[in-house]
Amino acid sequence: MKQHFSALLLGMALGFVASGASAQDKTVKIGVLTDNSGLYSDLGGAGSTLAAQMAIEDSGLAAKGWKIDLISADHQNKPDIATTIARQWIDVEKVDIFMDVLNSGVALAVNNVVKEKNSILIDTGAATSDLTNAQCSPNTIHWVYDTYMLANSTGQALVKAGGDSWFFLTADYAFGAALERDTAAVVQKAGGKVLGSVKHPLNSSDFSSFLLQAQASKAKIVGLANAGGDTTNSIKQAAEFGIVAGGQKLAGLLLFITDVHSLGLNVAQGLNFTETFYWDLNDGTRAFSKRFSERMKNKAMPSMVQAGVYSGLVHYFKALEAMGGNPHDGAKAVEKMKSMPTDDPLFGQGSIRVDGRKIHPAYLFEVKKPSESKGPWDYYKLVGTVPADQAFRPLSESVCPLVKK
């Protein structure tokens, strides 16, 4: 009884503090939680922090009396480390919003903490479509891409082009499993067959055993349900083992521009895959990417993950301005963001669905031949566009409890 009473008092006190701080409070703290040192650090990492910094500068909020802080940390691709940082950021550092959070395993863990503590997660790096499906949350927006979208776009395009039998090379964690599951579903729905799959440990350096199994399966398409260094090494070694020369086709289900840059066009040419952002799409993306690249240490162009950090924050700032202050209430801010259409130079016009899925078009790219490329970072040819309303999982198929049926 006594405990109940003190809990009640505490609740009242907190409620009082919260209401006192609302409306006119113009302080915001942004936390970029990413892989700063491991295999995904090129596609997120320091570039994501830079994108957040640019979003803050471009918003012009400082001139309007807002105080915006930015912190960043390395989650080392370990969910336990990530959740420890997340709790500390929310409880001690008073972080309002989490950006980037790549790696699906990490994202699902942070998603829970953010929901429990009523903070905000705009995930631009993780792939798993569970973030807006079974694990959806009123505090989370999944910004850039997801496994369903990748599977839907790349998978369907390849089956249509005659690739009706598949073998998967899958990274052995939440992301790989989700990507394989979603792609297999698309392939089977389109009339294709999945002949088998092999799960490899995250961060493998040798893929020859797995590639031999893929080769022996005689599948027309070898689907690479992995990312980062795992994908680049699989592609490089597949060339060595004559997989493509032998008539099988590689499907990089998740490739980033940093991967293509690292592989070089000689090895990467001809690969088909899907992204939602490319620096050379239009004037808006080119202008941003030029400014971004000038400030990057290795002059890299932004990946779609990094572009998503910028785009997500632009929208968050709009919502804050519309509310006239920072409510320090995650669910409330996300609600506001969902109610407003999104519009920025990087992803164009779009919207955020009730399940937290940000909607925009997806682009099917093909990697250029070395002879077609005009210079560094000129890598992609646009071969198809999936309209925003068809790119992602339809709400009618969703099992997210936020979707009322």
Question: How many Å apart are CA 146 and CA 76, to the nearest integer?
Answer: 21
Are the C-beta atoms of 114 and 85 separated by less than 8 Å? no
Residue identified by tokens 């409070």 is 25
Number of residues forming the site for other proteins (CB under 8 A): 45
Question: Of 25 and 74, which has the nearer Cβ to other proteins?
Answer: 74
Residue 270 Cβ vs other proteins, minimum distance, rounded to whole Å: 16
- Nearest residue to 346 via CA among 297, 295, 312, 389: 312
| Beta pairing class for 67-74 and 27-34 | parallel
Mark 147-176 with x for binding to other proteins (rule: CB under 8 A) and - for no binding. Answer: -------------------------x----
Question: How many Å apart are CA 267 and CA 261, to the nearest integer?
Answer: 10
Question: Of 94 and 199, which has the nearer Cβ to other proteins?
Answer: 199
Residues shown for the chain: 405
Alpha-carbon distances of 371 from 244, 256, 265, 379, rounded to whole Å: 20, 21, 9, 11
Question: How many Å apart are CA 109 and CA 118, to the nearest integer?
Answer: 14
Question: Of 290 and 299, which has the nearer Cβ to other proteins?
Answer: 299
Mark 183-222 with x for binding to other proteins (rule: CB under 8 A) and - for no binding. Answer: ---------------xxxx-xxxx-xxx-xx-xx------
Amino acid identity for residue 373 in this structure: S
Q: Name residues contacting other proteins, limited to 30-89 (CB under 8 A).
A: 37-43, 45
Question: Which pair of tokens denotes residue 223?
Answer: 């689907």
Residue 30 Cβ vs other proteins, minimum distance, rounded to whole Å: 23
Mark 224-243 with x for binding to other proteins (rule: CB under 8 A) and - for no binding. Answer: ----xx--xx--xx--xxx-
Residue 46 Cβ vs other proteins, minimum distance, rounded to whole Å: 9
Site for other proteins, rule CB under 8 A: 37-43, 45, 172, 198-201, 203-206, 208-210, 212-213, 215-216, 228-229, 232-233, 236-237, 240-242, 246, 258-259, 261-264, 266-267, 297-298, 300
